[in-house]
Amino acid sequence: MENKIDELLDKISEHVKEMTKTETIIGEEFKIGEFTCKPVIRVGVGFGSAGGEGDHPKQKGSGTGQGAGAGIGISPVGFLVTKGGDIHFLQAEKNKGLGAAIEKMPDLIEKFMEMKNKKEEEKESKKGK
């Protein structure tokens, strides 16, 4: 039996490359009011392989074997949030994951509403002068 471990590793590497492209790490953007948000994700990749051959002394036979495998871990890091020329990063807490980022969204919306109200008040005060 011919040892094809290199070929197997090449196939696994191609699959890993496809799954860990930039679009996976920086997700699709979405909008909340005037804010544009892009999720940022951490991707961990690992793979390994082994092969061997041997003789069976009692059955007077021999054999070969090989195998390979890969694993991918994906976890949220946070969100890139933009409004106009301002860019902020909302970090997801390590021990809470995506839930922490979602918990911060009401604060983000509240800040947005405060800024909007303040601008409207400034416009009103300028009109009154």
pLDDT at 1: 41
Alpha helices in the chain (DSSP H): 5-19, 22-25, 98-128
Give residue 57's pLDDT.
80
The number of folded domains in the chain is 1
Q: Chain-centre distance of CA 45, in angstroms? A: 12
Look at residue 13 and tell me whether its pLDDT is greater than 60.
Answer: yes
Please check whether residue 73 is in contact with residue 43, taking contact to mean a CB–CB distance below 8 angstroms.
yes
pLDDT tens across 91-113, in order?
A: 876 555 666 667 677 778 888 88
pLDDT (0 to 100) of residue 23 = 63
pLDDT for 94:
59
- What are the CB-based long-range contacts (under 8 Å, 24+) for 14-23? 15/70, 16/45, 16/47, 16/70, 16/72, 19/43, 19/72, 20/45, 20/72
State the pLDDT at residue 25.
65
Higher pLDDT, 96 or 45: 45
The answer on pLDDT for 64 being more than 80 is yes
State which residues form the domain around 96.
Answer: 5-128
